[in-house]
Structure 1
Amino acid sequence: NKFGGVCVDFEEATKDAQPNLLRFMQELQAAFKPRGWIVVQAVPFDDPDWNYRDYAAASDYLMLMAYDEHYAGSKDTGSISGQSWYEQNLIARMKDLTPAKTIIALGNYGYNWTAGASSAKEVSFQEAVISAKDSEAEIKFDETTRNPYFSYEEEDKSQHTVWFLDSVTAFNQIRAASGYRPAGFALWRLGSEDPSIWSIFGSDQLNPVPDGLKRIVYGYEVDFQGTGELLRVLTRPHDGERSVQTDQKTGFINSEKYISTPSSYVIERTGDHPGSIALTFDDGPDPEYTPAILDILKRENVPATFFVIGKNGQAYPDLLRRIVNEGHELGNHTFTHPNLGEIPGRLTDLELNATQRLIESVTGRSTVLFRPPYFGDAEADKPEEVEPALRAQQLNYIIVGLRIDPSDWKPNVTPDEIVQRTVDKAMDDNPETRGQVVLLHDSGGDRAATIEALPRLIHELRAK
């Protein structure tokens, strides 16, 4: 696999386990060194049970995890990596370590503590600022720890306190450590960070404060509101803004104010109807499987929605007419089934319009339903998934997601698996994860298992 080495991270190793762990690291380094492979060990920042000097000797680089001053299981809420706590431990560690063999891992995440709960929930930077925005809470900058925090009350009257780390805390920590000239800095963890951190990570220009730090880049996650599997994109991403004040003597940031919060895509979910199930079939029509499915649906008196591929409908127009004549709905699934996130927007328009015109010319009916190809579920969580959906929405389509995917498209799937997966998901009590739209397929491969499973699936869902 051509990896250059390994990073070892044994969490919460007890005092009794230390001799064996050290021996393991020594043996690992002895085995890796002749092959030219690097050994990195991640270690806690402030644990007296760890012999940092011995572990440094047994690795090429020691990575100090400079966070979790307060953690999920802490009895009290508090800073994740307060500046004084960070600097004091940094001084203590660097007395035993060689800077050129030391990597400092900075945190960029947070914890949401609920009053009375036994543990906190870890949250990303984006989740933290979304919670602050939705609850209209003011994000404050604690002057003592130089960590941001806020408090709010949930609709159920529960009291929450959120402490988190952002690019400002990273700036101060990098500045404090730069005098030691460590081998580098690491980040815990990718995807949870304040994206503005990349304006300072790897940069030697920390004085004055980079302008990129004042711009709060929107995050990676999509913000969902409501429940259901019909999707509507409410807003596109936009950046936020912060102001900072710097201590003129030390160069550290001693004040931070969130002027406006960033926002990623905001998608509204609707269509939640407990007790109802919608059967949908993608990728048809197919001359073998679509008629068999229509026969079953007719016998069981069950309506369904068929998201058709235009080129298949062009090849089998009689099946399009039969679908409509027997009381089912047609939906647009593009003309050639491309990954819309990988083609220009104008081609997306062409794919949709060609299929729409075909449906209209063959059946005399139109459709406003659209499901993008390769659309995994009811939570499109990547820009390349959201943008095509937004483009279709601007053409007045309703975006139909799904929560129940029994994977009937996978090779060797059995009818029993299709039925059980569908029923289990439909019976989920959590409205945030419960499914009501079932994804099945009537083309694109061997659908014999789907045909066999369908009558049983209908009977079991009705019985529930």
Structure 2
Amino acid sequence: MPSYPDRRTALRAGAAVAAGALTAACGTPAAEPPAKAAKAAEAAEAAKATKAARPAAAPAPAPRAFPGQPAQIDHGPRDRPRVALTFHGHGDPATALSVLAEAEKAGARLTVLAVGEWLDAHPDLARRILRGGHELGNHTQRHLDINTMPEAEAYAEITACAQRLRRLTGSIGTWFRPSRTQQATPLVRKLAARAGYPHVLSYDVDSLDFTSPGAAAVIRTVTGTIRPGSVVSLHFGYADTVDAMPPLLEELARRGLRAVTTTELLTP
């Protein structure tokens, strides 16, 4: 008659088998064979070398002087079929992305004057704007009434936004536009030049989109006053502006006007 282990012995044996299986499943994995480990280390070193050799992204364009243009620019040459659509960069980033997408569908290039606090909250938008072929500039750090500020505070508003642009893009941006005003005072123009901006960018067409008048009204306002060389003031953050973009760009094309960056507008 065959002999069988008693119940206690059997349970002990089963527990040992289970513990061995658990150790195999959850314990420290076996060391890789030396050849495989060496190959993995070699691949990691190669990847690191490739990354180190990859050139850094080129910095964004810097401000430039346009001889013959005033310290404060309201519009470009009237004898070429170009216009500049300039956007105050603030508000819901979703509307900014929608405006950029509509512009890019139509082959339009925009100028975005960003508020520093907006860049702090949405830093990825700086590179997104540049990747789309648009240009990026300075619209002060907090979007306060810069013309009424003491000199030191006004200068800090300009330079704080410039520092954020430099950190995010490698440049202080191509343009400076004063906040809460169409025309900068002589003092603000002087401070902008001290901060590195040869010109203050104003505009000759105000879309009034920030009043939320409806897309049709935005289109009427812009198309009723725009002409070759115009610089148009528009805003991110408003649904009416997003809705107005496709028909507005279609109307510009129908008139033979091309939407370009402000730098392109002023370049011969």
Task: Compute the TM-score of the two structures, normalised by the length of structure 2.
Answer: 0.64
How far 1:320 moved relative to its partner?
Answer: 1.0
How far 1:368 moved relative to its partner?
Answer: 3.6
Aligned with 2:210 (options 409, 430, 439): 409
Q: Distance in 2 between matches of 1:321 and 1:282?
A: 16
Aligned counterpart, 2:25: none
C-alpha change, 1:452 and 1:269, in structure 2 (3 Å) is: closer
CA deviation string 1:86-106 (max 9, x = no partner)? xxxxxxxxxxxxxxxxxxxxx
What is the count of residue pairs matched by the alignment?
Answer: 185
How far 1:385 moved relative to its partner?
Answer: 2.9
Q: CA RMSD in A?
A: 2.1
Aligned counterpart, 2:252: 461
Aligned counterpart, 1:284: 90
Q: Distance in 1 between matches of 2:149 and 2:128?
A: 32
Aligned counterpart, 1:396: 196
The residue type equivalent to 2:87 in the other structure is F
Higher normalized helix content (fraction of residues)? 2
Q: Distance in 2 between matches of 1:459 and 1:269?
A: 24
The residue type equivalent to 2:152 in the other structure is R
How far 1:285 moved relative to its partner?
Answer: 5.8
Q: Distance in 2 between matches of 1:287 and 1:311?
A: 13
SS of equivalent to 1:277: strand
How far 1:286 moved relative to its partner?
Answer: 3.1
Task: Compute the TM-score of the two structures, normalised by the length of structure 1.
Answer: 0.38
Aligned with 1:372 (options 178, 182, 186): 178
Is 1:440 matched up with 2:234? yes
Q: Distance in 1 between matches of 2:141 and 2:92?
A: 14
SS of equivalent to 1:280: strand
The residue type equivalent to 1:328 in the other structure is H
SS of equivalent to 1:370: coil
C-alpha change, 1:375 and 1:359, in structure 2 (3 Å) is: same
C-alpha change, 1:306 and 1:276, in structure 2 (3 Å) is: same
Aligned counterpart, 1:272: 77
The residue type equivalent to 1:424 in the other structure is G
Aligned counterpart, 2:71: 232
Higher normalized strand content (fraction of residues)? 1
How far 1:300 moved relative to its partner?
Answer: 1.2
Aligned counterpart, 1:321: 127
Gaps of 5+ in 2: 1-68, 256-268
C-alpha change, 1:270 and 1:307, in structure 2 (3 Å) is: closer
Is 1:312 matched up with 2:157? no
Q: Distance in 2 between matches of 1:401 and 1:354?
A: 20
Q: Distance in 2 between matches of 1:414 and 1:364?
A: 37
Greater Rg, structure 1 or structure 2?
2
C-alpha change, 1:305 and 1:328, in structure 2 (3 Å) is: same
Higher relative contact order (CA 8 A, sep 6+): 2
Q: Is the CA contact 1:286–1:316 (under 8 Å) kept in the aligned structure 2? A: no
CA deviation string 1:109-143 (max 9, x = no partner)? xxxxxxxxxxxxxxxxxxxxxxxxxxxxxxxxxxx
Aligned counterpart, 1:293: 99
Q: Distance in 2 between matches of 1:273 and 1:366?
A: 28
